[in-house]
Structure formats: structure tokens, C-alpha cells
Chain A
Amino acid sequence: MNVDWILSNYGVLLPEAVLTLFAFAILLIGLKYRSVLGYLAFVGAVVSLGLVIMNFSVNATLLYNSLVFDPLSQFFKVVFLLVTLLTIIASIRYYHGNVHQGEYYFLLLIATVGMMFVASANDLVSLFVAFELGSIATYVLAAFDKDNPRSIEAGFKYFMIGALSSAILLLGMSLLYGITGTTNFTALSQMSFEMSGYTLAALVLIIAGLGFKMALVPFHMWAPDTYQGAPTVVSAMLAAGSKKMGFVAAFKLIILALIALRTEWYMVFAIISVITMTYGNLVALTQRSLKRMLAYSSIAQAGYIAMAFVVVSHTNVDSVVNLAMGGALFYILSHAFMKGGAFLAVGAVGYMLLRDRIKVDVEEDDIDNFAGLSKTAPITAFSLAVFLFALAGIPLTAGFVSKLLIFSSAIYGGLAWLAVIAILNSALSLFYYARVVKVMYWDKPKFVLKGEPTAYVVAVLLALLGTVLLGVYPGPFVDVAMKVAEVFL
């Protein structure tokens, strides 16, 4: 056994291996040199991202077919690593000098490794283990600001509901195993199911378990509290990255493995998707806390992405399925930039308030604190405005192309009513996004800020670049998403 043999057989695992290695190295180095940790984590994520992109069109299975490496898994790994990168860049400033930053970056990288394995899972067991790895690390991250009671509450709530939903997911998986006698997705996808109470129960439990991670209504209760209470850099990671772990798991388990049950989950997802987008947008309308508003908007966006499930279950015409899934994938990539960027921009404002010791009698992310931001922090304000318009689906941003793809797939699939509801929702959402832009641009500033923090600016500008690039020049990215989506045909 030599290096060549390992590389040729397990080379596809290199990105995960590199990231794990860096994670443990950070834990050790963090005992003595704290100031380099952020940069180290950054290098690790960049190397890992480079390796994933080099191996993008790979097609391999590993460990008795329990892990699969295909364009789909690589696509999601790229999304996860991009979000992690943005989070790390902003964290370099936020956790500068923090005694526990070793653990922070360790957990961040390990959570990413877990999410990457979820993207590669091809077996109920490997999926569940990776899912837990990705989840447990984020529970700790959400509660990382130990001095802030809200952060503790966020982590605790997230953990309690997360543990419960993991149990539900596991119960569903074991039922599925009991019915079929296999845990492998490839085998499951070839199974013909006999409709029974057990099958239905397994399906419902799995949807509920994964719906928690995707923050679909009615499994969303944790999301606003957690996103609001968690350190904003972590909220960015949860909303833009961790949530997508739920989506990739659901794509694999529900669309790939349980495609035989499509008629059963059609109605479930139709209802969930409509309720999720409508509820998210309606509640977001009245929020004063920007992080809470973004949390509800994130719920609404999950509702749009979930339209892909509805379309796929409604039809089996290849071109429709391809468009719907390609649209969902493109949406997930754009959402990572838009939502990650928006949370980081909000975080930058919170950081500046803290740094400049400005006393405000409202929460740090209250909309009042954003008044006149265009004058006190022009780059942050401009980027946030673009992210919010992108989330609303205004042209020349990634959000527009995403909605174009996914809404048009609904019409293509004969679900015009769904597209109408989604479009009405989209119009409704403009109201609360535009309100924030209004406050930032034509209200008077309440206090003076001493310059924008470089690390945050870099992270926000990178996300801005992604948002605008995907909106102005979407062609090649759409092609990639459509190519990746061929996995679902």
C-alpha cells in the first residue's frame, strides 16, 4: 500500500481530509498562537475548495457504495465551502483576540466536513452520521458567545429541536430499512414500494426530520430565534450553508432514493412549499430586528426552493425535472451569496456599534440602527441593498435568475397555480426588503461610525461579487447547474 494507491482510490476524499487536518491543526496551534488561526482556517477552506473544483466532474463511489462522488455532491461542497470561506473572513475580525477562537474555527471546519459528507452520502447510515456531525458542531457554534444570553438561548433551542428532529429522522430511516431491508440509496431507488401505513409513516417522519434543517413551515420554529440570537457570522453560516445541508439530504433521500413514492409526497410538498413561502413573507413584514427579518425571509426562500420537490413529484418529463432541479441548485448557490452576504452586512453593523461603543436602547440589529447607513457605512449599505433586492428577485441579481428558473419550471410542469402563488409572494416580499433600503438611504443617521471593518467588507464584497456575477452573466453557471441536475433524471 503506497501513496499512489491511496490517492488513486481515495483521492476524491482529499478535500474532506484536508479540512479535517486543518481543523485539528487549528485546535492544537490554538493553544499557543491564536492570531493565525483565522488565516489558517481560510487557507484550509481555499485548498479544499480548489480540490473540489479540480475534481468537479468526478464519478466514483467509495466504501461499499456508501459514499458517492458525483457532480451533485461536488456542487454542494462548493456551496458549503464558499459559505464557510465568507464566514471565516468575517470571523477573523469578529473573533479577533477571542480566547476560544481555536475551538470556533475547529467547529466551523468540522461542521463543513459534516455537510460535505452529507453531500456525498449514498446510504441511510452515512447520511445520518454525517448529518449529525454537521448539526452538532453548529449547535455549539450558535451558542458560542457565552456572555450573551440570547446566544445561549439560540444554541439551546436549536439543540433541543435539532435533537428531537434527528430522532424523528432516525425513526423514519429505521422504518424505511425495516420495510425495504436495505440502507443503500441506489438499492432504494430501484425498489417498488407497496403502499402501506409503514411506508407512509416512514415518508412523513423523514420529511419532518429533514424539514427541520431546511426550516420549512411547520418545522421552522427554531429558526428565527436561533438566527437572531446566534453570533451573526454563525447565522450567516446557518442560513446560507447549514440549511443547504438539509436540502441536499432531502434531494438525495427523497428525490433520488424514494422517487417511487413521488405521488405520495406531491401533496405534502405542495402544501409545505406554499405555506412556507407565504408564512415566511407575511411574518417578515412586521419584523423590526433585521436578523429576524432575514430569518423569516430565509424561510420564505426555502419555500421557493421547495417548489422543486412539487414540480418533480408532479411530472416525470425529463426536461421539466431537469429545469426544476437545475433551478433549485442555482437558487441554492445564489441564496448562499445573497443570504450569507446579507447576514454578514448586518453583522458588520452590529460589530461597528460594539467597536465604537455606541449605546443604543434597542437591539443591535434593530432597523433603527440602520438609519442613514448609506452615509455612515456606504459599502455595507450598498451591498446590503443589493442583497435585499436580490432576495426580492430584482433583475441583474442572482435572485432574479434563480426565481426565473424555478418559477418557470413550475409553469413548464403544469403547475401555474404554484407559480402564481410564488410570484405574488415575491411581490409581497419586496415590501419589507424595500423598507430596509429606504431606512438606509433616506433616513438621517443617528450616530457616527468610525470606518467599516476591512474583514467584513472583504467578505461582503465577495458575496456581492457572487450575487451580481450570477445575475449579470448567469449563462455558464446555469449550464453547470443544469448539467449537475442531470443526476436526477
Chain B
Amino acid sequence: MVFTITISSMILIPFIGALLASIFRGGAKAIALVFSLVPLVISLSMYQQIHDPSTLSYVEHYGWISALGISLKFGIDGLSLPLLILTGIVFPLTIIYSWRLPYTPHVFYPLMLVLESALIGVFTALDFIIFYIFWELTLIPLYFVIGMFGGPKREHAAIKFFIYTHVGSLVMLLGVFALYFESGIGSFDLLSLIGAFSTLSPDLRNIIFLAILFGFLVKLPSVPFHGWLPDAYCEAPTPGTVVIASLLSKMGAYGILRISLPMLPAVPSLSLFVKILAILGVVSILYGAFLALAQTDLKRMIAFSSVSHMGYVLIGVASFSALSLSGAMFQMFSHGLIIALLFMLVGVIQSNTGTRMIPELGGIANKMPVVAFLVMGGFLASLGLPGMSGFVAEFLTLMGAYPSLPVYVLLALIGVLITASYYIWAMQRALFGPYNENLGEVKDVGAIQMLPMAILLGLIVLFGLNPAPILKLFEAVSVMVEVLI
């Protein structure tokens, strides 16, 4: 075999692509597309070969700073592999989507590829400092993407996003330092650190757990740490929003599942923290849904719906049941696909009609039947229509959580109702009814932009009808976690 499948090549190849794309300016788009596809190919072949998704495979280990016990350690399991596949799907589709958009190719595409590298690093790193490095590294390309290609308030949004999440990460880093030094294990290895967590004094365990959780909650984001979200989502250019909503929010969820969840059983004030997580989850679901209901800007509405949907992850974590956990994990995957589709659609609506305000639209289904069809598909998927991937995720999460958190599940169900109402209401006002003549002549979506969206909708339906290929990976991991608890 000429080429062995490794995680490090999955991280390095998009990065090399970024360098090439910035050097060979004429071919930047083509280079970006080819190199962004490589991680998908690698992760799919890993998917075929992986034997036991509940343990780590493809582990790689190199020295980095031996004085502090930091090493470049990577590996995948059933939790990270679907996220790698998601990353591999979303990036090439976003690049195809941006094909005709007016972004300077030799600047925009390298930034996207660097972002892809960094994300893969986050999802595969098994050393905390390396995890943190990739975690922070995602900020730099996004700072430029928002700041250089974003909307009118992009400067404000870029800096706010950058600093808000940076502060969250620094608090997390402090917690990890405390864990590292107090446990005295002399290594930043993620699993050893988590294992050593239970040896610390009870007070310290509470503080460290909170500090680490804080960084993840900001990234997720969970209410009340979602302050950076509306500006960043709305001011970023469509491809940037797609990547933030679809993949970056999964970093927070992944961190909670990979790091906070295994620590949770050793936290002294366990019942209190479980309650806090459940409350944060329910509040995010309800508050996000209410905020979405109040929006007139389609993009803002979807941004808040994202807050609402990520609340399910917290419910899954708080439930301590394998069923609910695998539902929450599947929600990450499914939401990644759905939200990417929705933001792409908003981008198309805005560029083709000149507005994304719901009251200024109206009846566009008459002129843009393809867009209307895709929007309907996306909205229905997002509100949890059976047969679409969102239903599987939310149903599993809530059903699994019901035995342990009945009240919260009932409250979350109210959220499902509100979600349904804002989506259907928005559809009625924006898509159907008489055509708003003020919009003038509008064109339907072009073939190049339709392709990625059609693929996304296809995948959403596919995984809605047959979630098993991805779900079985998550189940293997969550059963392991449940045993642990």
C-alpha cells in the first residue's frame, strides 16, 4: 500500500492545500475542492475498517514538549469519527456552494482549508494542550473570514466572536492546568488527566469541572453564554456561518461529551451539576425557540434555532442514559447537516431577492420553486418531522432522558412545539401566499448552488430513514460511557 491512512495526514493535507491554494491563485478553487475532499475519503475508509468504535483506533503518538509531558497524540473512536465524516461532508459542499460567490479565491479558500485542518485536529487530539491549540486555531481563520467577507457590522462581530470565545477557552485552560499540577501525573494526555480527576480534593474537583465546562458552554453556545452568537452568525458570510453553525458549535458539544462527561461521575456535587446541565439545556431549548419566534430576519431566526437545538446535547449529557446520549450525539451529526442546509438557503434567498427579512419576502415559492422545496425540506427536518434525521435525534434524546428527567423532557417538548410554530409561520409568510411584487423579478437557485443543498437534503432524509450507519458508532460509545457511570 503506497498511502497509509493516518490522522496526521488528514490534518496535514488540507493545510498543504491551503498553502498551494494561496500560491497557485488561478487554481485556488479547484485545489480547495480537491484537498477538502481528502479528509472525507480518509474518514470514510476509516469507517469501513474500524472494528470496535468504543475504543480508540488509529492512535498516533509523537513527542512535542517533553519537559511538560505534552505530546502529539491523536486517535479516533465512535464519537469522533462521525464528526470527521460531517466535517468531510460540509467543507467540500461549502466550497462548491461558494464557487460563484465574489470572495477573493486565494484568500478565502486557504482560510477554509486551514479551518478544516484545525477542526479535524480538535476532533482527534488526545492531548489536552494539542486539543487546546487546535481549538484556538479555529478562531484565526474565522476571524479573517468574518472580518474580510462579512456583512456591514463584520468588524464588531469578528472581534466580539474572537474575544468572547477566547476568554471561554482561557478559563478552560486554567482548569486543565490546575488538574495537571494538582494530580501530578506529569502528562497532558487527555485520558490520563480525566482518569486522575477523581484523585483530587472535592472542592478542587468542583472548580476544575466548572472551569472546563465553561469553555465548552461558550462554544456550544448555551444560554446564557450565547452573546457572541447572533452577531457572528448574521455578520459572517454564508459559507462562514455554515461552518460555524454546522461544525464549530459541535466543538463545544464534542468537548462536553469527550471531556466533561467522563469527569461528571467524579464530581462531588454531582446532583447539583446534573441539574444545572439539564436546566441549561431546557432553557437553551425554550429561550432559543422563543427568540427565534420573535425574529423577522430569517438568518437570525435560524441562528437562534441553532441555540435551541444544541440544548438537546445538554439534556442528553444530564440524562445518564445510553439511549439519550446516543440521541444527543446523533443530534450533533444531524444538526450539522440541517443547519448547513438552512444557512445555505438563507444565503441564496438573500442574494437572489436582495433581502432576508421575512416581512419583505412573501410568495417566493411562485418564483423560486426549487428554493421553496429545499426550504420546506430543511424547515421540516429542523422541526423534527419523522423520516428526517432531526426526528431520530430528538426523539431518542427525549425518550432516553424521560426516566431520569421527566419534568425537563416535558418542558423540552414545549420547545418542540414552539419550533414547529416558528418554522411553519416563517414558511407561510416568506414562501407562500401571494407574491410580493416589490421584489421584482427573482431567479431561482443556480445549478452549482443547488447541488450541495440537494446533497444535504438527501443525506438528511437518508439518515432519517436509516440512521443506523452513524448511530451504531454513537451507541457503542454511549454504552461504554453508561457503564462508566
Would you call B147 an interface residue if the criterion is a C-beta within 8 Å of the partner chain's C-beta atoms?
Answer: yes
B404 to chain A, nearest CB (A): 35
Would you call A326 an interface residue if the criterion is a C-beta within 8 Å of the partner chain's C-beta atoms?
Answer: yes
Among B63, B134, B177, which residue has the most Cβ atoms of chain A within 10 A? B177
Q: In the assembled complex, which residues on chain A have CB atoms less than 8 Å from the CB atom of B154?
A: 442
Q: In the assembled complex, which residues on chain A have CB atoms less than 8 Å from the CB atom of B68?
A: 323, 404-405, 408, 478
The contact of A474 among B65, B137, B158, by CB within 8 Å, is B65
B177 touches A419 (CB 8 A): yes
Assembly CA distance A427 to B163 (angstroms): 7
Q: In the assembled complex, which residues on chain B have CB atoms less than 8 Å from the CB atom of A441?
A: 144, 147-148
Give residues of chain A (312-337) contacting chain B, Cβ–Cβ below 8 Å.
323, 326
Would you call B297 an interface residue if the criterion is a C-beta within 8 Å of the partner chain's C-beta atoms?
Answer: no
Known: A408-B177, A420-B174. A438 touches B155 (CB 8 A): yes
Q: Which residue of B lies closest to A326 (CB)?
A: B67
Would you call A104 an interface residue if the criterion is a C-beta within 8 Å of the partner chain's C-beta atoms?
Answer: no
Assembly CA distance A323 to B70 (angstroms): 14
The contact of B159 among A423, A427, A434, by CB within 8 Å, is A434
Assembly CA distance A478 to B66 (angstroms): 8
Q: In the assembled complex, which residues on chain A have CB atoms less than 8 Å from the CB atom of B140?
A: 389, 394
Q: In the assembled complex, which residues on chain B have CB atoms less than 8 Å from the CB atom of A478?
A: 65-68
Assembly CA distance A389 to B154 (angstroms): 20
Assembly CA distance A416 to B181 (angstroms): 11
Residue-wise, chain B 62-86 has the 8 Å CB interface mask toward A (1 for contact) of 0111111000000000000000000
Would you call B379 an interface residue if the criterion is a C-beta within 8 Å of the partner chain's C-beta atoms?
Answer: no
A395 touches B136 (CB 8 A): yes
A434 touches B143 (CB 8 A): yes
Q: Which residue of B lies closest to A412 (CB)?
A: B181
Assembly CA distance A207 to B167 (angstroms): 33
A482 to chain B, nearest CB (A): 5
Known: A419-B177, A426-B170. A431 touches B66 (CB 8 A): no
B65 touches A396 (CB 8 A): no
Would you call B173 an interface residue if the criterion is a C-beta within 8 Å of the partner chain's C-beta atoms?
Answer: yes
Give residues of chain A (351-405) contacting chain B, Cβ–Cβ below 8 Å.
389, 394-396, 400-401, 404-405
Assembly CA distance A434 to B148 (angstroms): 13
B65 touches A475 (CB 8 A): yes
Q: Which residue of B lies closest to A426 (CB)?
A: B170
A430 touches B136 (CB 8 A): no
Would you call A200 an interface residue if the criterion is a C-beta within 8 Å of the partner chain's C-beta atoms?
Answer: no
Q: In the assembled complex, which residues on chain A have CB atoms less than 8 Å from the CB atom of B159?
A: 431, 434-435, 438
A411 touches B155 (CB 8 A): no
B174 touches A423 (CB 8 A): yes
Residue-wise, chain A 62-106 has the 8 Å CB interface mask toward B (1 for contact) of 000000000000000000000000000000000000000000000
Assembly CA distance A475 to B71 (angstroms): 10
Q: In the assembled complex, which residues on chain B have CB atoms less than 8 Å from the CB atom of A326?
A: 67
Number of interface residues of B (CB under 8 A): 34
Q: Which residue of B lies closest to A439 (CB)?
A: B155
Would you call B196 an interface residue if the criterion is a C-beta within 8 Å of the partner chain's C-beta atoms?
Answer: no
Q: Which residue of A lies closest to B133 (CB)?
A: A395
Give residues of chain A (451-482) contacting chain B, Cβ–Cβ below 8 Å.
474-475, 478-479, 482
A487 to chain B, nearest CB (A): 16
Assembly CA distance A420 to B139 (angstroms): 22
The contact of A394 among B65, B136, B171, by CB within 8 Å, is B136
B131 to chain A, nearest CB (A): 11
Q: In the assembled complex, which residues on chain A have CB atoms less than 8 Å from the CB atom of B162?
A: 430, 434
Among A326, A475, A479, which residue has the most Cβ atoms of chain B within 10 A? A475
Known: A394-B140, A395-B137, A427-B167. A411 touches B177 (CB 8 A): yes
The contact of B132 among A395, A419, A424, A431, by CB within 8 Å, is A395
Q: In the assembled complex, which residues on chain A have CB atoms less than 8 Å from the CB atom of B158?
A: 438
B38 to chain A, nearest CB (A): 21
Q: Which residue of B lies closest to A389 (CB)?
A: B140
Q: In the assembled complex, which residues on chain A have CB atoms less than 8 Å from the CB atom of B174?
A: 411, 416, 419-420, 423
Residue-wise, chain B 142-171 has the 8 Å CB interface mask toward A (1 for contact) of 011001100000110011001100110011
Assembly CA distance A474 to B178 (angstroms): 22
The contact of B147 among A396, A407, A438, by CB within 8 Å, is A438
Would you call B430 an interface residue if the criterion is a C-beta within 8 Å of the partner chain's C-beta atoms?
Answer: no
Assembly CA distance A442 to B237 (angstroms): 14
Assembly CA distance A441 to B143 (angstroms): 11
B310 to chain A, nearest CB (A): 24
B104 to chain A, nearest CB (A): 10
B178 touches A411 (CB 8 A): yes
A374 to chain B, nearest CB (A): 9
A396 touches B163 (CB 8 A): no
Would you call B109 an interface residue if the criterion is a C-beta within 8 Å of the partner chain's C-beta atoms?
Answer: no
Assembly CA distance A35 to B181 (angstroms): 56
Give 6 new A-B contacts, CB below 8 A, not counting A434-B143, A441-B148, A475-B63.
Answer: A326-B67, A400-B133, A411-B177, A416-B174, A438-B147, A442-B147
18 sample A-B contacts, Cβ–Cβ < 8 Å, listed by A number: A394-B136, A394-B139, A396-B137, A404-B68, A408-B180, A411-B174, A411-B181, A424-B170, A434-B143, A434-B159, A434-B162, A438-B158, A441-B148, A442-B154, A475-B64, A478-B66, A479-B67, A482-B67
The 10 closest A-B pairs by CB, nearest first: A395-B133, A411-B177, A412-B181, A442-B148, A423-B170, A427-B167, A395-B136, A478-B67, A482-B67, A408-B177
